[in-house]
Chain A
C-alpha cells in the first residue's frame, strides 16, 4: 500500500513545478521539505511576512509556484527532515520529533544546493558568514547587515550586493577572487550564453547598480585572512594587485558559488561523478532526470547547478516522465508536453559554462593549506588532512577515519568537498564519499520508537 503515487523531497522550484504537473496528471503527491515553508532557498519565505520589494521581481515570481502546492491532492509536509531513502521507494522522515515511513512507487529528489564551503584562515569566527545565509536572513527576518564586506566570487554575490543596496544597507566593499585571466578563459563561452540574454542583461544591471552606489570593488583578491579586532569585529585582510589590504567590518560575507546537495542521493545509492567545470560531485541523471536507481528521479540544482529557471523546467520534465512511467500519459504526450520546459532548460543552462569559467572557485579555497580549518565540527585543519594523506590515506574514507574530518553533526557537508580538493591536489582522483543513514542526525529515542507502517 502506497501513501502517494509520488514522493517529492524538496519544495523549491523543481519540486514545486513537479508536484503541480503530477497532480494535474491525476497523481497523489507527498511533498517533504525540511524548511518551515515552501519555496526552497531561492524563493525562501516568499509571500509570507512583510513585503520586501528590495528582494526583486524574480524572487516575487516564486509566489505562484508556492500557491500551486495548495492543490487538494498534494500533501505538503514542512519541517520534515528526510533521514533515510530506501531502494524500493520507502522514505523515512522526521517531523516534530516523530519519524514516519512513507512509500511511493516514484521518488523525486529535488533537494537543491548548498553554498560551497569557503575555508580560509578565520572563517569559523562569529562575524564570518556565507553571503547566501545573509540573504536568507533578509528573506525570512528582514535582517540587514551593518557595513558588511562581500568577498569571493559568483553571480549571487552581485545579486546580494544589489539587494543590500536597494534595502538601504549597501556593503562596505566587494572583494572578488576572480581574475582577468578567468574572464578571458570564459569568453569563448559567451556566445552560447547569449541564449540566456535576459540573465546576462540582469547581471550587467546588477554591476551598474553596485558601481553607481559607490561600493569599493577589488578583483583578483587572494590569501584571505580574518581575525577578530578589539571590538569583536572582523579584521579582514587579503592581497590584491600585489598589495595587502585590510578592512574592518562587523560582518564578512563570503561566497564561492553553490554545489549540489548530494547526501540524500548518495545515501539512496545513486551513482555520482565529479563535475570538473563546476568543481562538485553530482548524481548522474538522464535527460528526464532518471538515475540508475529505477524509481528515483532527480531534478534541480541537486543534479548539477543551473539555477532556479532550469530547476523549474527540470522538475516539469521529471514529472512528465514519472507520469509516463506510471502509465498515466503516453510517450508521445510526454514528449509533446516537454517542448516548452526543454527549451527553457536549454536557455537557462546556456549561461552556465560562461559563469562556471568566469567565477570558478579560487584554488586556495578548493585545496587550503596550513592551519585553516577544513572540518568545522571536529576542528580538523588542512595540515591535519594533508598529513594523513602523506601517511598513506588514499581516499575520502581513510582521510575521515584517520582525522575525524566529516564525523561531526554536519556529516561532512562542510568539509567533504574540501577533503576531496586536498586529495586531488595531492595527486589522487577520489571517488564520492559514501553517505549513510541517518541523512540528518536523529535521536536514538526517535529511531527506537519507529513504527513499521504499511508493512
Chain B
C-alpha cells in the first residue's frame, strides 16, 4: 500500500535525492526528515521488532527518524540537511555493522 504524504504538497524543490532508488526533490535548508515526510506517509524505518516508525520529534531527541544516507546507517534524518544527490534508504530492522553492501 502506498500512503500519501500527511502534509500538503509543496512546489518541487531544486535538490534531487533518491529514497530507496525513487526520485524525490527537496528545498535547500530542508531537513532530510522534512523531505521524506513531504514525499510519503509511510514508515521510514522499522524497529528490531518490525514496528513501523517515522520521524517524530524533529529536534534530535527521539532517534525515530534513523535512515541510511549514502550507505551510512542510523543517520538522524531530522538533524541532517538535504544535499543534492543524497541516496537515502529506509532502514528496516536494526542497523548492520558495516556500511550497507547494497
Which A residues are within 8 Å of any B CB, using their own CB?
34-36, 41, 45, 48-49, 79, 114-115, 124-127, 129-130, 132-134, 136-137, 140-146, 148, 169, 231-232, 250-251, 261, 376-377, 379, 408-410, 413-414, 440-441
Instruction: Among A127, A142, A376, A441, point to the contact of B6 (Cβ < 8 A).
Output: A127
Structural contact, B41 and A145, CB atoms closer than 8 A: no
Instruction: Among A115, A140, A141, point to the contact of B57 (Cβ < 8 A).
Output: A115
B69, chain A: closest CB distance, angstroms: 12
Contacts A49-B29, A115-B57, A136-B58; is A124 near B51 (CB within 8 Å)?
yes
Structural contact, A144 and B63, CB atoms closer than 8 A: no
Structural contact, B1 and A142, CB atoms closer than 8 A: no
Q: Which 6 pairs show the lowest CB-CB distances between chains A and B?
A: A232-B3, A141-B34, A133-B58, A126-B54, A250-B6, A409-B63
- Taking the complex as formed, is B74 at the interface, i.e. its CB lies under 8 A from any CB of chain A? yes
Structural contact, A143 and B10, CB atoms closer than 8 A: yes
Give the total number of A-B pairs whose CB atoms are below 8 A apart.
Answer: 116
Contacts A142-B10, A143-B37, A410-B63; is A124 near B57 (CB within 8 Å)?
no
Complex CA gap A143/B59 in Å reads 15
Complex CA gap A355/B51 in Å reads 36
Question: Which residues of chain B (18-73) have a CB below 8 Å from chain A?
Answer: 27, 29-31, 34-35, 37-38, 41-44, 47-49, 51-64, 66
Contacts A127-B41, A141-B30, A143-B38; is A414 near B61 (CB within 8 Å)?
yes
Tell me whether chain A's interface is mostly helix, strand or loop, or mixed: loop
B7, chain A: closest CB distance, angstroms: 5
Residue of A nearest to B8 (CB): A144
Structural contact, B29 and A137, CB atoms closer than 8 A: no
Complex CA gap A259/B38 in Å reads 28
Contacts of B92 in A (CB 8 A): none
Instruction: Among B5, B6, B61, point to the contact of A410 (Cβ < 8 A).
Output: B61
Structural contact, A141 and B56, CB atoms closer than 8 A: no
Complex CA gap A124/B42 in Å reads 13
Chain A CB count within 10 A is highest, among B42, B51, B58, B63, for: B58
Structural contact, A169 and B8, CB atoms closer than 8 A: yes
Contacts of B61 in A (CB 8 A): 114, 261, 410, 413-414
- Taking the complex as formed, is B87 at the interface, i.e. its CB lies under 8 A from any CB of chain A? no
Chain A CB count within 10 A is highest, among B6, B29, B63, B64, for: B6
Contacts A34-B79, A48-B29, A125-B52; is A232 near B41 (CB within 8 Å)?
yes
B95, chain A: closest CB distance, angstroms: 10
A13, chain B: closest CB distance, angstroms: 15
With A49-B27, A137-B7 known, 14 other A-B pairs at CB within 8 A are: A124-B51, A125-B52, A129-B55, A133-B58, A137-B34, A137-B58, A143-B10, A143-B34, A148-B6, A376-B56, A376-B62, A379-B49, A379-B51, A409-B74
Contacts of A376 in B (CB 8 A): 53, 56, 62, 64
Structural contact, A232 and B53, CB atoms closer than 8 A: no
Complex CA gap A45/B63 in Å reads 21
Contacts of B64 in A (CB 8 A): 376
Contacts of B47 in A (CB 8 A): 379
Contacts of B44 in A (CB 8 A): 126
Structural contact, B57 and A114, CB atoms closer than 8 A: yes
Contacts of B62 in A (CB 8 A): 376, 410, 413-414
Contacts A114-B59, A140-B31, A413-B62; is A146 near B43 (CB within 8 Å)?
no
Instruction: List 27 A-B pairs, Cβ < 8 Å.
Output: A35-B59, A41-B59, A114-B57, A114-B59, A124-B53, A126-B42, A126-B44, A126-B52, A129-B56, A130-B58, A132-B58, A132-B59, A133-B55, A133-B58, A133-B59, A140-B29, A143-B8, A143-B10, A143-B37, A144-B8, A146-B5, A232-B1, A408-B63, A410-B62, A413-B62, A440-B60, A441-B63
A152, chain B: closest CB distance, angstroms: 15
Residue of A nearest to B49 (CB): A379
Instruction: Among A126, A136, A140, A148, point to the contact of B53 (Cβ < 8 A).
Output: A126
Complex CA gap A22/B58 in Å reads 31
Complex CA gap A114/B38 in Å reads 23
Structural contact, A45 and B29, CB atoms closer than 8 A: yes
